[in-house]
Every structure is written in structure tokens, then in C-alpha cells.
Structure 1
Amino acid sequence: MDRPRGEVDVAYFIQVSESNLPLLPRLLRALAHPANAYAVHFDRKIPDAELAPVVAAIRADDRLAAVRFMPREVVTYRGISMVLNVLSAMEFLLAAHPGWCYFVNLSAADYPLVAPDTVRRLLATPGVAGAGANFASVSSPQTWVNTVTEQRIGRLYVDTSLAFGGEENGTAVVPMKIPNPLYAAAEWTARKSEAWMLLHRDFVEYTVRSAAARRLLLAFGLSIEASEHFFVTLLTNTARWRRSLVTNHLRLVVWSHRGVKAVQHPYYVDDTEPNDSSAYMFAGRLASSTALFARKFRVADSPLLDTLDRSVSGIAPAASAADAAGVAATTARVRDGLAAALASSADRVAAWEGRLAAAAAAGQLPAKEDRTPLDTPRGGGGAPVAGGDAPAADVLATAAPP
């Protein structure tokens, strides 16, 4: 169908596990738009008896005609297979739909806080699609990130799903208790983010087709939690993509509540108050967020989702003037939040380029975390190369006879 002016098509990838399978049909209905693309992956560990009725319900819904199911793979929680599954989805969506502009990865435990039309318009605004902006969180400070990555990437782990065994055998990440010699020698700086991203099609194509991305993927192949490191490390260690990075994943994720920090998993945003099952603990945060999506939910078709649809996102018709006003306020708030994220990241890029210029003026290499070594095939650490391609001198040197 023809794309309305001022909108871009979006490709959604939704990873589904056994625990969040019941939430999928409603999520798909909330995301539905005839011009978008949708790829759903069901972990092979989901029992067929549980999966069959969910698939049948989706196929029977005319609103979900654009939804496509990927071939099922075994995905190991915290393993490299999670990254490989995202890469499979990127390839799948690039082949399935030639016109989308943005790739959004979700789990079935996510839910939108704005309507599909609004997402399409927001991503088409100046400074976003036209600038090739990519959205991912970047954890800080880097000293803490270095400690985390030394444990996750600086040691060797094996994802047993790579053995192509059946799901009945189970999957695990097995620590080898051996240092990874590649980590200490790496010219690139490992970064950390949450695993949720909005990526421009240009970067998606680079991720699945470039030599630099393939080499970096191999470097992460024997690590743990690679989904929180691989994509953001690729973004920040190449000059073109570092300039495109907006350090905000546009999700509401609650990691701290009333002074108590979550550890491995965030809070469920549809939890109710301990003494009042009708009062949702995070309803206020959801209604005032500047994010496009929130996570994690665990109750399918809850009253909270009905309220969000009606008075926050506008996915469902407003039942009152107050509902309509709430939807209008959400749109304005999210638009302003997006503009603030773009401005903050522009300042961050300017500061980085200033440090590069100062180092060059002093005849020194930039600090390691300011370098973009994936721009050149030999590593190096000099000035960034526009576009992340090999400089002409390197191409000629490679082609010259010995």
C-alpha cells in the first residue's frame, strides 16, 4: 500500500518464549498496521500443544495478515544464540519487505504506549529517519562497564544450542573458566546496553552483511549476555554509526522502585499494590512516560492494558473527553522526549568529535574508548573513516603484489 506522507514503515521482530506466549496475540493487535512488517519467532522449547492455539488465533485474525512466522530455532537465555536469532530476523525482514525504514525488536512481554500510526510519524520526523538515527541505550560509567565486560567477554562460555541438538536436550551456557585472550588484545572498546533497540535499515544491512560485523560477531561468539554488548559495540566502534547513535532505546523499563533495585530482571510493570489488587504500582509511570514501548508485562488482557489503549496510546477509541486528552498529551510528551534525546545525543557526538580534534592537534592518538577501530580492516586507532569502509590506501595496499 502507498505510504502516507510523513510516515515510515516499521519492521517489528518479536521473540516469544514459553512464559510470554499468552501475551502475543494482544501485542500483535496493538502493533498492527497494514504497511508494517512483522516477524515472530517462537523458541523451539515451547511445547507444540501450547503453541498451536496461539498460532491458529493469529492466523484467523484478518488484522494480522502481515504477520510472518520465522523458522523456529533453539534460543539459550544469555547465550550467543540470542544474537544469532536477532540476526536471523534481520535477514528475514530484509527479504520479506523491501520498504521498511526501522527495525524494532520486542519480546512478547512488551507493549506499546503510542499507536502504530504515531510511531510511524515520530520516526519520520526531522533528525530521525532522514538522518539515519539509531536508538540504543549505552550504560555508564565506562569503568563499571569494563568490569562487567571483563566477566562476560573476557572469559569463555559455550552456548550448547550451537550443537544443533534438539530442544528436548535443553540448552545452557557453560562457563569454561578460561580467560579469553582476544578480549585483552581487542582494539575495540566493549560497550553495554539493554538488548532493546530501534535500528535504521542502513545499519541493519551493515550488521548482517559487512565484514566488520562478522568479525566482531566471532569475537563475541564465546561470551555471555552478548545481546547486551554486540550491537552497541558495533555502533560505537564505527565512526559513521557512532555519529548516528541516539543513546535512548525509547522503552520504559523499571529497574528501581521505592529504593529497591531489581537484579537480573526488571520489575513487571503490571504488578499491583501488595494490599490492593485493583491498584497498579506503575500506572503513573506508564501514563507519564516519554517512551514508545514499556516492558515487562505478564498478564494477558489485563484492565491496565485496556486503560493504556484507551487513555494513553489511543489504540482503542476514547471513552471520554478525558481519555482523548490523555492520548493527545501522550503524543506531545513522547514527541518532546524524542526531540530531547536527539539533542542530547548531538551534544554527545560533538563532544566526542572535539576530543578527536584535540588529540589530532596534539599529535596523539585518541583515548581508546574514543577510537573507531572497526573502520579499518587492520584495527588501528587513527582518524575515523566516513561510512566505515576501508580507506583507499588500505585497499591499494591489500591489492598490491608482495
Structure 2
Amino acid sequence: MGAKKRWLFTLFSSAFLSLLFLLVYSISAFSSSKQFPSIVHHGTHYPPTFAYYISGGRGDKDQIFRLLLAVYHPRNRYLLHLSAEASDEERMRLAGAVNAVPAIRSFGNVDVIGKPSRLTYMGSSNLAAMLRAAAILLRMDAGWTWFVSLSATDYPLITQDDLAHVFSCVSRDLNFIDHTSDLGWKESQRIQPIIVDPGIYLARRSQIFHATEKRPTPDGFKHAVHGTKIKVTHMLYFCVNVTCGDSYSTTAGSPWVILSRSFLEFCILGWDNFPRTLLMYFNNVVLSEESYFHSVICNAQEFKNTTVNSDLRYMIWDNPPKMEPHFLNTSDYDLMVQSGVAFARQFQRDDPVLDKVDEKILKRGHKLAAPGAWCTGRRTWWTDPCSQWGDVNVVKPGPQAKKFEETIKNLLDEWNSQMNQCK
């Protein structure tokens, strides 16, 4: 009889603890799901907001979702794009993962493109997809300040509170974009060749088509391309002063940009025909996303003096540079952190260095949004601190913000001196 009583006591105790756990979990889930979102305020008296376009291809669902959580803030707007080569199932699973995050579900500031673009490597379909994303974001949200383009292989080196805090002191008409009018080898290999991108015209995936002849460089406008000066040795891509010295040579770079809302409205909404004229030309240019925005902004009188000559990315290139930078790892962490920039690329999926960034900089838990001043929930092993929130218009910068602030100050000093503006 004693053994039977002990067995029943153990059974009922286990059942009671299980029910208690489920009750507490249900109460927590119910309270967070019923919480109304804080009102997002826009204007010069509030922190700036960012419209993120995050793109990737087949198999990039998990990377895009992780990147979204790393850069998430209720004040921002996000548009996720899995290209046409990804399956509809992968796209639906990404949308499901996004909707499962309590804050995202409540604030409704993340969207997944349902009818994706077909992207061709080195073709103009990449530029078309970026312009489409900017147009969607302009139409869906009237409050954001800057447009930020990221790929699935990117990752932040600062928190969104850091970014908003530092950019609060930046003129909201400025554009962060690497550019140079020194075309060098790019003139004959990128500007003059004529290509056709099948991603724009065909329903199947293919490579770009090359014409047998080249065309002369147009003289109706000044060309500007993406290109930072790097030393003729293996070194860091990021350089605060783009004109670093006589021992440096122009090299190709990535098309990633941080563009102001006013400039993108100029490119898309159509009160001036110049952006469309250049778009017709760059439709047949190799890697047009590396030169279209750069050429438009450096030829438009209204915007030519708004360029800060940096894309605020950290990359490491080979010598001579290949088409893509190195994949970063834990051996690059210290230099990455000391660079004082906002983003880095590129990373392998779930590389341990990303866990290190999550732990030491973002303070982000596994499959959780990076916390900020807006998160008010207690952080425990089974709850998300960002499942509850307070005033989303308040930001609290962390230690990494100081390095980023120094970088921006140096860049703005150069901008004020007009050293690195469009020539």
C-alpha cells in the first residue's frame, strides 16, 4: 500500500506541475498577444526610422529571418524578398516565422514579397528589384527616413537603438553611398559592354546575354560608379577617407546603399525625367546596381551635394579583388568591431561569429528579436523580453554606439569640407 501511495503521489505531482506550467505559459502568451502596440511618432523631434529591403535566394529563408530579428525595431519598416528561384513553400514558411514573433504580429511592420522578381547575376534585374522594393516601401509607409539595402549574407554590428541614436544628429537628406568618377577599368568592362538581362524578359533562369560590340561612353552625363580605394595588399575594405593616398587604386565593390527618402522619391515618383533616362541606359549595363544610383545622384543638382562617400559596410577583399568579398569568421571579429561601421558582409549561414555578435553586441537570444529600450519584458530562459513593450519612440544606445558615432563624425567632417562629394 505504501508503494502504491508513493506512485500515486508522484503521478499527481507531475500532472499538477505540468498543468501549472501550461497555465503560466498561457497567461503570458495571452497577455502579450492582447497588448496594444505603442504609437510610433515621426518627425524631427523623434528618432529617424529606416526602411529595410532584405533580399536572398533559394535556401536563404533562415538567414533572412535571423537578419530580420537582428535589425528589428517597431519604428522601422521591413520588406523581405526571396527571389523567384526559391520555392513558394520556402516563402510561406518565412512568412509564417515572421508572423510568429509577437511584436511583429502586433506592429505589422514586416512584409514578405509574394510575387518575387527573377534575379540574374550581374544583370539589371537586381536594380529593378531594388527600385521595386523602394517603390513598395514608399507607398506602404509615409514615415521612414532612410532606405537600407541588405542581403541574406549581411549582419549588423550595432543595435537599432545605436543606429537611430547616431543618425538623429545626421541631416535627413544625406545619402551614404560610395562613389567615384574615376571609372578606370570599369569603363571598358562595365560601362561600354552591352548586355541583356533575361530575368526581366523571360520566365526561366538564364545568364546575361552579351552583345558582340561595345558602345561609346555617353557624354550627356557624368558617370559615377561604386568603388572605394583599397591598398594593393590584402586589407580592410572600409576606409573612412576614400582618397586614402597615392598607393591606392580603384576597385569594384558591393551595391549596398543607405539612401534618403527624398532622393528615392526623386528616382521613383517622376517629377524629373532624368532618373528614367538613365534607367533606360543602365538597363543594358553590367552590374547596373553599382552605378545607377551613383550616376543619378552625382548628376542631379538637387542631390549632388548630399553624398557621404561611404556605405558603412565592413568587408575584406582579395588582391586582386574577386566578384565577392571574403566570408568573415571569428578571426575577423575584433577588427570588425573596431571598424565602427553599421554592417558587415559576408557571412556563412550560422557561422559562430554571428553568435558572438548576438551575445556581445546585440544581446540577442536564439530566435529572438534584438532587444532595445522598447522591450519591457523580463528576460528568462522561457520568455522573450520583447514580447512586451513600452514607448517605442525612446532609444537607448549601447557601448558600440560610441565607435559608430566617431565614424559618422569623421564622415560628416569630410562632407562639410566637400572633399569626397561628387566631382
Into which bin does the TM-score normalised by the smaller protein fall?
A: 0.7 to 0.9
Aligned to 2:298: 236
Indicate whether 1:334 and 2:378 are aligned: no
Pair 1:336–1:6, CA change in 2 (3 A)? farther
Aligned to 1:282, the other structure's residue is in SS state helix
Quick check: which has more Rg, 1 or 2? Answer: 2
Aligned to 1:68: 111
Aligned to 1:265: 324
What does the per-residue CA deviation read over 1:227-275, in whole Å, with 9 as the maximum and x for residues that have no partner? 100011111122331210000111111114xxx55411101113xxxxx
Moved more, 220-229 or 305-314: 305-314
What does the per-residue CA deviation read over 1:81-101, in whole Å, with 9 as the maximum and x for residues that have no partner? 111111101110001101111
Aligned to 1:215, the other structure's residue is in SS state helix
Aligned to 2:353: 304
Mapped contact 1:161–1:171 kept (Cα < 8 A): yes
Indicate whether 1:225 and 2:287 are aligned: yes
Pair 1:63–1:289, CA change in 2 (3 A)? farther
Q: Where do residues 234-383 of structure 1 align in structure 2 (5 Å cutoff)?
A: 234-256=296-318, 260-270=319-329, 280-300=330-350, 302-315=351-364, 328-348=398-418, 370=423
Pair 1:76–1:27, CA change in 2 (3 A)? same
Aligned to 1:389: none
How far apart are residue 139 of structure 1 and its match? 4.4
- How many Å separate the matches in 2 of 1:10 and 1:133? 13
Q: 1:187 aligns with which of 203, 221, 224?
A: 221
Aligned to 1:400: none
Mapped contact 1:79–1:159 kept (Cα < 8 A): yes
Aligned to 2:118, the other structure's residue is in SS state coil
Indicate whether 1:147 and 2:185 are aligned: yes
Indicate whether 1:32 and 2:72 are aligned: yes
How far apart are residue 317 of structure 1 and its match? 7.1
- How many Å separate the matches in 1 of 2:145 and 2:309? 19
What does the per-residue CA deviation read over 1:3-54, in whole Å, with 9 as the maximum and x for residues that have no partner? 3844111110111112533311111111111121101111001133444433
Moved more, 53-62 or 331-340: 53-62
Aligned to 1:177, the other structure's residue is in SS state strand
Indicate whether 1:178 and 2:213 are aligned: yes
How far apart are residue 76 of structure 1 and its match? 1.0
What does the per-residue CA deviation read over 1:359-400, in whole Å, with 9 as the maximum and x for residues that have no partner? xxxxxxxxxx84xxxxxxxxxxxxxxxxxxxxxxxxxxxxxx
- How many Å separate the matches in 2 of 1:95 and 1:314? 33
Mapped contact 1:29–1:64 kept (Cα < 8 A): no
Which structure has more RCO (C-alpha within 8 Å, separation ≥ 6)?
Answer: 2
How far apart are residue 336 of structure 1 and its match? 0.6
Pair 1:52–1:250, CA change in 2 (3 A)? same
Aligned to 1:241, the other structure's residue is in SS state coil
Aligned to 2:418, the other structure's residue is in SS state helix
- How many Å separate the matches in 1 of 2:349 and 2:225? 33
Report the TM-score when normalising by structure 2: 0.71
RMSD over aligned Cα atoms: 2.4
- How many Å separate the matches in 2 of 1:251 and 1:3? 28
Q: 2:56 aligns with which of 9, 16, 19?
A: 16
Aligned to 1:176, the other structure's residue is in SS state strand
- How many Å separate the matches in 2 of 1:269 and 1:3? 37
- How many Å separate the matches in 1 of 2:74 and 2:162? 14
Identity of aligned residues (%): 24
How far apart are residue 309 of structure 1 and its match? 2.2
Moved more, 214-223 or 60-69: 60-69
- How many Å separate the matches in 2 of 1:180 and 1:241? 28
Aligned to 2:20: none
How far apart are residue 342 of structure 1 and its match? 1.1
Mapped contact 2:362–2:371 kept (Cα < 8 A): no
Aligned to 1:239, the other structure's residue is in SS state coil
What residue identity is the alignment partner of 1:200? S
Aligned to 2:196: 158
What residue identity is the alignment partner of 1:138? H
Q: 1:199 aligns with which of 259, 262, 265?
A: 259
Q: Which has the higher helix share?
A: 1
Aligned length: 323
Report the TM-score when normalising by structure 1: 0.75
Mapped contact 1:6–1:121 kept (Cα < 8 A): no
What does the per-residue CA deviation read over 1:164-220, in whole Å, with 9 as the maximum and x for residues that have no partner? x32xx2122111122224x24433234334301111100010011231100011111
- How many Å separate the matches in 2 of 1:333 and 1:108? 25
Task: List alignment gaps of at least 5 residues for structure 1.
Answer: 271-279, 320-326, 353-368, 371-402
Mapped contact 1:146–1:190 kept (Cα < 8 A): no
What residue identity is the alignment partner of 2:302? R
Task: List alignment gaps of at least 5 residues for structure 2.
Answer: 1-38, 228-253, 365-369, 373-378, 380-396
Mapped contact 1:44–1:75 kept (Cα < 8 A): yes
Mapped contact 1:110–1:293 kept (Cα < 8 A): yes
